[in-house]
Structure 1
């Protein structure tokens, strides 16, 4: 019997290369009718029986975790042991041991289990540095046996690299990847080639737009489905409906050649990337479950002729901007609801602003470091529309050095810290007009410049880079910045 291929993310975790995604449980339940866990578990068991035994869910996917928990209670059945991958998506804020443990224990309670096989962590804004605290606390719970392995979701290459260089034992990063959205084939795949992390890919069918249903069809005038709203933005950004039709026609020709569906071709293209461990295919429990069609993923492979044809279409499209996850953190917000700036503005600030005694037109940011009192300085100071940011190192909390020995990872953390200080004072990185970079090793120039360019590539402030003898502490780089707040043209 044909079954899905399997992939070992570690010596403790082997998954089906086609995971069953349960995000649509939330959509089914949005009107208030909750799926009976036992009924839902029966549908999951049908998947497991033919080899689709790996299920992906999250804390906010309705009752998905409870349905998976009901399936786990049937471990002795012929379905075999289900593999549970869930996500924890906490609100930004301090990630203490108590907060993280409570988040993990809630997952276990809903699953009715003493361990989650893969717990994936999501964080909205990297300006708030508590995401690293959370991952290190999760690593401790992994050692306790409450977590099998740790993954992340929607991390760009820079922050995935930072986490790895800071010693977080990650095995996966869940990101969008499709014929429309090829960002994951870039720097993320390069990082995977140099590490043990692999990608779990979602959105491979672009909310169903990569299927026979849409070939030679007029552009939809109105869309109410959240998933399609999101991926229609992808289509528009990639070149529009006519370019999408060209892509569908080429995929249809390849599908006919192999006797499979367009969806199979689209998903197989993602699955054949070396960085990809598995693809996540959504399921609407109790409805058409496409199991037979999904099994065809594992009975054919794309050949060189297929890749040449697809590459030719890619040349006609516009690459989506930025890296994976950017659509949730910066314009253009390619999400179902569009502009998320209001959501980001409501997030807690990493730093609190303090007034400057006797100077009502000034404000400053302090981090709580003892050195601010000893040496008499602040992290950043605003004077009218001008903001000066002190020399900043990759320090978490009061004294922990981040990613010792890796200048690129330290630069990423430093720039997030500078961005957080500017945000607290009413500015952004767009307002930066000068940076100064101090390096202890000239061999790190390219790596640090690459990290600097990732943030300032379009802004292009004045910049000075200096090699110095040493920095106090376990640091390879220090950066200071100056910003000027000006009115922006609409």
Structure 2
């Protein structure tokens, strides 16, 4: 192995003014796995374990509201530092229950994080949302921005956002600093549109799953495919391996990484981490720690002792070519099949999301239903967002309007298209339909230069469905809008 004695600590990355992180963050998601049977980690002993990481230079910790007692453990560590003393960073996540995101709801969620951590300000608050069809996610981010201005939050991050919705948030003025997503030799989705967005708009990626729950290590090289998996992390990443083509192509990646590891005198895990660290837009990788059970601080330093050369990248690319891309964009595994999570099917979370539209019968038309979205123009002009008669659904021309009248992402046609399509899908869902039932869309834009961006946003939703479509350039739209879309659907038996 390479001599690590000359490495003072992990590389650092400046995310923002006064926010410099370790490029290998210590993830605390396994606290929930350790505690799942009711065995709660003693907070002081847990804080002792975190202190060892901080003393070795791994002073950035990532946790969440649902990672067992991770916030409490981190809070005990932070309490050991005097006010004004340079202390470790505690990044946490808020994954609220589905529903409207009012100012009071958001403040309560942030207050709970502050109380559990025992701090006056959260270094980085990362937000997760289940279904974009409910616009509460954008409301929540704007409320978080208000709390940031108030001083309760240092920076805002999101978790498992695809490129389209991260772009929408940025275009609507939310100062999102980071997006935490799966990124590994097996799951390379973040190297696509998200990396492009990082290049143009500035948010940074925090990569998790870099070691695929431990599968990206010598331990699994040449080993038979596991049949019984006990811990949550490995259950999750075995699904990713299966989605990428299965055990045999995965062994090809492991073999290539093992050859590179031997060349540089490091471990397979080091190669896996180094590859992600060298990708566009990546600020850091998150490596999990099983507090009191398994610590790999010395090994976690080795990715900073070497770089991958052209030959190394060529060998990995050859191995990648024998795998299948993970379907969809980042975060899709939480929102649509195939659900690549530890528990598998997450439709119960999606089913719990309240409808964004109100549904009511259509008077004088037996069995017909209509939905309203709250736009003030629906009352003024006397129309509904959508109406279902039998198996046919028609959706009115829809613009990127939040609440009753606020234009979303003014001046950005691509972001507006993303919001409009979410709004259309919400109306369809309220009437028992989905994107797969759409048979026609009509798009109106005000600038021919927006045609490609709008079409790509449309293709993200309908690329495999391919409804009939018309796109026309019009002289103007009422209000600060660059795009308006209407749709028709035919519900299948």
TM range (shorter): over 0.9
**In the alignment, does 2:355 pair up with 1:349?**
yes
Q: Distance in 1 between matches of 2:426 and 2:458?
A: 16
In the superposition, the TM-score normalised over structure 1's length comes to 0.98
2:389 pairs with one of 376, 383, 392: 383
Instruction: Give CA-to-partner distance per residue, 1:268-304, whole Å, 9 cap, x none.
Output: 1001113100000000000120000001111111111
Superposition TM-score, scaled by structure 2 size:
0.97
In the alignment, the residues of structure 1 paired with residue 218 and residue 359 of structure 2 have an alpha-carbon distance, to the nearest angstrom, of 55
Distance, in Å, in 2 between the alignment partners of 1:6 and 1:284 is 23
Describe how 1:110-121 pairs up with structure 2 within 5 A: 110-121=116-127
Matched with 2:3 is: none
For residues 192-341 of structure 1, the aligned pairs below 5 Å read: 192-341=198-347
1:480 positional shift: 0.2
What SS does the aligned partner of 1:194 have? Answer: helix
Gaps of at least 5 residues in structure 2 are 1-6
Query: Does structure 1 residue 98 correspond to structure 2 residue 115?
Result: no
What is the DSSP-based 3-state SS (H/G/I as helix, E as strand, rest coil) of the residue aligned with 1:466? Answer: strand
Question: How far off is 1:371 after superposition?
Answer: 1.9
CA distance in 2 between partners of 1:191 and 1:238 (Å)? 24
Question: Do 2:130 and 2:349's aligned partners in 1 also have CA atoms closer than 8 Å?
Answer: no
**C-alpha distance in 1, partners of 2:268/2:376?**
61
What whole-Å deviation, never above 9, does each CA across 1:363-390 have from its counterpart, x for those lacking one? 0001233322221100000001100000
Query: What SS does the aligned partner of 2:201 have?
Result: coil
Q: Partner residue of 2:38?
A: 32
Give ranges in structure 1 of 5+ residues lacking alignment: none
Counterpart of 1:19 in 2: which secondary structure? strand
Distance in structure 1 (CA, Å) of the matches to 2:367 and 2:228:
49
**Number of residues of Structure 1 aligned to a counterpart in Structure 2:** 486
Write out per-residue CA displacement over residues 425-445 of structure 1, whole angstroms, 9 at most, x where no aligned residue: 000010000000000001100
Which residue in the other structure is 1:394 paired with?
400
Q: Which runs of 4+ in 1 moved over 4 A?
A: none
Does 1:49 pair with 2:62? no
8 Å CA contact 2:275, 2:308 repeated in 1: yes
- Of 11, 14, 24, the residue aligned with 1:18 is 24
CA contact (8 A) 1:75 1:82 kept: no
> CA separation in 1, counterparts of 2:372 and 2:324?
43
CA contact (8 A) 2:33 2:231 kept: no
Query: Aligned to 2:491, which of 471, 478, 485?
Result: 485
